[in-house]
Amino acid sequence: MAEVTPRSVGLGLLFCAIFSMAAAYLALKVGQGIEAAIPIAILAVGLSRFFRRRNTILENVIIQSIGANSGHVVAGAVFTIPALYMLATIPGSGVVQPQLWQVVLVSFLGGSLGILFLVPLRYHFMIENHGVFPWPEATATTEILVTGESAGNQAKTLAISAVIGAVYDGLVGIFRAMSETIRFRHAYIGEVLEKRYLNFNLLNSAATLGIGYIIGLHYSAIIAAGSFFSMFVLVTAVHAIGEHVPVILAPGTKLIAQMAPEEVFKHYVKIIGVGAIAGAGIMGVLASMPNMIRSIISNLKGMKHQDTREAKAVPRVDRSFSGAFVSAGLVIAGLLTILFFSFGLGIEKALVPALCATALVMVIAFLFAPVAARAIATIGTNPISGMTMLTLLITGVVMLRLGFRGGPGMYVTMMVGSVVCTALAASGAFSTDLKIGHWIGATPARQIAWKFAGTLVAALFTGIAMWILAHQGFGSKAVPAPQASAMQAILEGVFGT
């Protein structure tokens, strides 16, 4: 049965490029990325109708496996790298804006490390623990690939929705046919609210509406609750304090009582939100620490129980890469990481910090990448933001101990966080791909090999998307980059800027 063909590889790489740019935009705009595996699986089945020969189910596995790289590479890059762009705009920070090739290389290194650290655990996760974990996302994607006809009908709905969304957002964002923000100042509700120093606006975006459908009512309600609480409670409270106490904005001379609601939000309430994100992430990691420790111990034991059958006796559906390949890949990745931190950042006397940074990357990724995979297998959610924040704290303290302060210290610390974040996301996503292939009967070695190609394409187009959006200003109203704002706050707290 056809598996790796020009069609499956070509479509996989095409979807990887498209979804990388789309996911990067959404993550930077609303702080919520998209998991590309399910829509790509639907498209793979649906588009096969237009070929003389329909895709085989194994071709669709390869398409989905390659295309799904977009989600984890984006998660690693856009939640960390934009913080460097924001720090670079602060006078005296000493941080310079990352170059496109730096973003691409960091994303590719992180994704490759996540794949390499999970390969030795394939036998442990897929065979030894078969039937133990629920694998929510892998189950949903597998059902789509197996029930091909119904998924093909879903592809039509997906395509029509994509066209409608593109036309609507094009009219709003490109042709300015409508305002990007719906305000109620001239309606009765807006007039009443403004008299009470309340501001109620809606983002006029099909993409944001789509995100609400994807994440569901529960998480949408949580996000909306944060917006209501910040604008209708905290902004009002800060303004009330400013009316009774003559408080002046720290860097300026304007009294709080004279500020518009948007200004109060920008200079006070937004900072509270960033602190809440950072605190919740760290608390989440601490609360999960017992489970993480148990997972690490279990994974280390699993690495000892490898498939001992001879290569000739291993069925096609169990053929993976050898331990020698993984070891060589890790050595090459480690050397590239050392060279990048030593010479690729334009920082003088960076050899010792580069060695320490590389050691931190390898150790943290080795310990936490399997934890991320187990989390995906169990609950379908990867707690990468909290683990990345913990990585930034550890790396920042080490850089300070080495005397690496200011801009150079923050630059190296954030690059370490980006590599680790991408590795953790890649490990979780790759475990899902391997489980889908294990259930359907794909060849693991082929999935692994083309996973690296997908990671490279995803890194390239994620970097391009970030380079384009950077011109609008990260942290601005146009591109808020909320997750990166939390990472920036952590760096500023560690390095005292």
DSSP calls for 238-300: HHHHHHHS--B-TTS--BGGGS-HHHHIIIIIHHHHHHHHHHHHHHHHHHHHHHHHHHHHHHH
Alpha-carbon separation of residue 40 from 18, 25, 394, 429, 435 (angstroms): 10, 18, 37, 14, 16
Highest mean pLDDT among 143-157, 269-283, 453-467: 453-467
Q: What is the pLDDT of residue 64?
A: 94
- DSSP β-bridge partners for residue 479: 474
Task: Tell me what pLDDT residue 111 has.
Answer: 94
The mean pLDDT of 202-229, rounded to a whole number, is 86
Confidence at residue 186, expressed as pLDDT on a 0 to 100 scale: 65
Straight-line distance from the first to the last Cα atom of the chain, in angstroms, rounded to the nearest whole number:
59
What mean pLDDT comes out for the span 147-169? 83
Is the pLDDT reported for residue 146 higher than 80? yes
Cα 55 to Cα 39: distance, rounded to the nearest angstrom? 16
Contact, 412 vs 357, CB < 8 A?
A: yes
Confidence tier at 75 by pLDDT (50, 70, 90): confident
- 423, pLDDT greater than 70: yes
* pLDDT greater than 90 at residue 375: no
Of residues 65 and 245, more confidence is placed in: 65
Segment 337-354 shows an average pLDDT of 87
pLDDT for 449 equals 93
The average pLDDT across 22-48 equals 86
Average pLDDT over residues 197-214: 82
Please give the Cα distance from 412 to 415 (Å, whole number).
5
pLDDT of residue 262: 82
pLDDT at 250 over 70: no
Residues 11/17/20/25 CA torsion (nearest 10 deg): -130
Predicted local confidence at residue 452, as pLDDT: 95
**Interval 168-177 mean pLDDT:** 88
Residue 308's pLDDT is: 56
Average pLDDT over the chain, rounded to whole?
86
Mean pLDDT of 126-150: 84
pLDDT band at 99 (very low <50, low <70, confident <90, very high): very high
Which pLDDT score is estimated for 93?
Answer: 81
Whole-number pLDDT of residue 273? 82
Q: In the predicted model, what is the mean pLDDT of residues 323-334?
A: 90
Mean pLDDT of 55-83: 91
Check pLDDT > 70 for residue 307.
Answer: no
Torsion sign over Cα 244, 250, 253, 256: negative
Which has the higher per-residue pLDDT, 331 or 306? 331
Is it the case that residue 306 has pLDDT exceeding 60? no
Q: For residue 338, what pLDDT is reported?
A: 94
**What does the pLDDT read at residue 16?**
95
Residue 302 has pLDDT above 80, yes or no: no
State residue 188's pLDDT score: 72
% pLDDT > 90, the chain: 34
Whether pLDDT at 347 is above 60: yes
Give the burial string for 319-346 (b: 16+ CB within 10 Å, else e): ebbeeeebeebbeebbebbbebbbebbe
Q: Which of 54-68, 94-108, 270-284, 332-346 has the lowest mean pLDDT?
A: 270-284
Q: Which residue has the higher pLDDT, 368 or 336?
A: 336
User: Which residues, listed in sequence order, are joined to residue 203 by a DSSP beta bridge?
Assistant: 181
Distance (Å, whole) CA 367 – CA 300: 9
Two tokens at 125? 């996760």
Question: What are the residues whose beta carbons fall under 8 Å from the beta carbon of 97, sequence distance 6 or more?
Answer: 84, 85, 88, 470
What pLDDT shows up at residue 435? 94
d(CA 153, CA 410): 49
Round to whole Å and give the CA distance between 415 and 343: 13
d(CA 4, CA 451): 12
